[in-house]
Structure 1
């Protein structure tokens, strides 16, 4: 019996609960390397060396498959970013920002393809899902930065005026760090996190 036939027969014996994560991992790899438009039932089946009916036992169609992929990666990012943006000391110093950037970058090291999907997929559905995640990050950073600026001595009326722009500086710098790490393998994660965290702290601190 040809090896490919043997692999397909074994694949059919896997239940949907065991098979679904494999299908989603294969779809993620295709989306990152070839674009979300290349994720089809056929392409995922070929990637896993199984027949299309194996994929259909887990997902009704391509739309369901992509929706579940995006939902899984969105949930993964929300959990990791939420952990990064946990409450910290109000009177933050440079190390507080370095620690945050280091924690964020550790999630990129652990799940690089999730982040590549965020920044590499022009599909409007993907952008909508992850746009919500960015909005949540902006809200959380706003909650963290407002009391810090006040503690540093910025007048309340000035905080009200400048807070949005400073939060955008912080969030955009975080996104830039992720893009830099994914694009430039010469960076050591700790070195990049320390550089970016210190730079953002200095930029924010000099506004007071």
Structure 2
């Protein structure tokens, strides 16, 4: 069955999928535009053009640009936070502390490999205020979950002295290392893969925490 029909003017008409099935496609197109040109370039018209459909097709999914951008940021925030939490959980049961850090960074970098545009949207050099505000709450959640994992781990593995004083600094360092690792992985000038870079960063951060 053909996926589209031709109008009298020769324009390709999008197959009728229904708003629920088409929304993910609209958001995918919006993400591509946001990563390439910035969130300000995401409009109903630009998304329709990128998809090769008419504006009413996009309006059937989202009532206006504001709703479209909000849905995009909600989806990407949720995806990013879930990926980081999965990375943390992947190392939670490791008996070897160095292995725990390596496994966690590998899982994080594999997630970035699977959804690079989500990370590029967040890691833009000068992120749009709308993006920064939305992801700030996500970062707060990740920070809280990181503390929940790292505090007992450090108590168990190393009985770190003066831990409560050191912990905020170590958490900031850990999150910065996560961001740096993803940036390096997505940099086309680097030849790192998720496993070798995860091993390298994991070992380095393990040494910092061990020696704290």
Q: Which TM-score applies when normalising by structure 1?
A: 0.91
Query: For residue 62 of structure 1, what is the aligned residue in structure 2?
Result: 65
Structure 1's unaligned 5+ residue stretches are: none
Question: Relative to structure 1, is the Cα distance of residues 14 and 175 closer, same or farther in structure 2, using a 3 angstrom cutoff?
Answer: same
Measure, in 1, the Cα distance between the counterparts of 2:175 and 2:96. 16
Q: Deviations over 1:38-78 (max 9, x none)?
A: 11111101101111111111111111100000111111122
| Aligned pair partner of 1:183 in 156, 180, 187 | 187
Q: Deviations over 1:84-117 (max 9, x none)?
A: 1227248652111000000001110110001111
The structural deviation recorded for 1:14 is: 2.1
| Aligned pair partner of 1:81 in 77, 84, 87 | 84
Q: Which TM-score applies when normalising by structure 2?
A: 0.89
Q: CA RMSD in A?
A: 2.0
Measure, in 2, the Cα distance between the counterparts of 1:161 and 1:90. 25
Measure, in 1, the Cα distance between the counterparts of 2:160 and 2:193. 35
Question: Relative to structure 1, is the Cα distance of residues 110 and 4 closer, same or farther in structure 2, using a 3 angstrom cutoff?
Answer: farther
Q: How does 1:114-153 map to 2 (within 5 A)?
A: 114-120=118-124, 122-151=127-156, 152-153=158-159
Question: Relative to structure 1, is the Cα distance of residues 57 and 205 closer, same or farther in structure 2, using a 3 angstrom cutoff?
Answer: same
Contact 2:14 2:53 in 1 (8 A): no
Query: For residue 99 of structure 1, what is the aligned residue in structure 2?
Result: 103
Query: For residue 3 of structure 2, what is the aligned residue in structure 1?
Result: none
Aligned residues: 203
Q: Which has the higher contact order (CA 8 A, sep 6+)?
A: 1
Measure, in 1, the Cα distance between the counterparts of 2:10 and 2:80. 37
The structural deviation recorded for 1:124 is: 1.5
